Amino acid sequence: MLLLLFRLSFLSFFPSLSLSQHFAPTGTKPHHRISVSLNFKQRKQREEKRRMMMKLDTSGLESFSAAVPSAMAAAEDQLFAPPSFDLPAGCADFDKFQMEAKQTLKHAKGTTTLAFIFNQGVIVAADSRASMGGYISSQSVKKIIEINPYMLGTMAGGAADCQFWHRNLGIKCRLHELANKRRISVTGASKLLANILYSYRGMGLSIGTMIAGWDEKGPGLYYVDSEGGRLKGNRFSVGSGSPYAYGVLDNGYRPDMTVDEAHELARRAIYHATFRDGASGGVVSVYHVGPNGWKKLSGDDVSELHYKYYPVQPTPVEHEMVDAPPA
């Protein structure tokens, strides 16, 4: 009896409270508080009702006019009807939709870049393809960014993100030079970038970059990404084609290579990555960073490299569907 009265009174409140009900959090207790010790069964029923009332709460969130009983609806419509609309299809779960939207902007780092330190300095190499899903949007993207005459950064991930933040880093490095009357170290520059990217963590930036340069301590190479990671190392490759590049790079690497050997190794590694990976291609650019700054060594079209490394020969057909020979 008690419970029935309780429910009726709640419903009578509902139309006039409908506005506040919109914004009431789902877990709040209703106004009436009956402090009576209830047995287990009554407590269970209370809980169920509360859960049902919580359901009532959320139903009000769907559409303003739907929540209001029909008697009031006509009047309410003319007076209060806000511009109500159906959420777009696929938006029933808004959090998932937002996650998917961020996912589409994530360019999945379709590229191949690599950099390694050896006795004569740092070699930096990259391909030049930009892809949007399956479509090739450009075959001539500059993925090695010149931060200043003695430091280079590579681009992997979102092109806009990389271009903007590398330019920003160049500005900060120049300001450091002016303020301290000496060049910034590679350690310092990579730390500046890593700290900026860490502060934007989780907001959807997509950057996987390597900062390579030559400072007072000699050659320096750091890997910095948009998750906020920063690693010091001797050999790195970043992007969707990196497994293929690592295979060639790790096999041919020696610390005591000449500049020409290192150049050829980097070019070969990127070429093999462009062959196997669909999201890498275009032109291989190779740079060398020495004590006097960086210098671009070559920019070769990957397709021409293929026919140079593997000239055309008549190849035996491996898979051919043939008819069964007649009996």
Q: What is the DSSP letter of 191?
A: H
**What is the size of the binding site for another protein (CB under 8 A)?**
31
Q: Which is nearer to another protein, 71 or 321 (CB)?
A: 321
Nearest to 208 by CA among 126, 109, 129, 141: 109
In contact, 270 and 112? CB cutoff 8 Å: yes
Name the helix (H) or strand (E) containing 163: helix 159-180
Among 37, 86, 315, 326, interactor with another protein by CB under 8 A: 315
In contact, 213 and 289? CB cutoff 8 Å: yes
Measured CA to CA, the distance from residue 270 to residue 125 in angstroms comes to: 7
Could you give the string, one character per residue 288-307, with x where binding to another protein holds by CB under 8 A and - elsewhere?
A: --------------xx--xx
Residues forming a β-bridge with 116? 123, 235
**Residue list 223-282, contact with another protein (CB under 8 A):** 240, 274-282
Q: Which is nearer to another protein, 225 or 277 (CB)?
A: 277
Nearest to 276 by CA among 237, 309, 312, 245: 245
Among 20, 312, 313, 325, interactor with another protein by CB under 8 A: 312
**Residue list 86-115, contact with another protein (CB under 8 A):** 110
Measured CA to CA, the distance from residue 269 to residue 322 in angstroms comes to: 37
**Residue list 131-170, contact with another protein (CB under 8 A):** 131, 133-136, 139
β-pair type (135-138, 144-148): unpaired
CB of 273 to another protein, least distance (A): 9
Measured CA to CA, the distance from residue 52 to residue 59 in angstroms comes to: 11
CB of 240 to another protein, least distance (A): 6
**Whether 104 is catalytic:** no
Q: Given the residues 26, 58, 111, 113, select the one marked as catalytic.
A: 111
Q: Which stretch binds another protein (CB under 8 A): 79-87, 126-134, 151-159, 249-257?
A: 126-134
Catalytic residue ranges: 111
Positions in the binding site for another protein (CB under 8 A): 110, 127, 129, 131, 133-136, 139, 240, 274-282, 302-303, 306-307, 312, 315, 317-321, 323
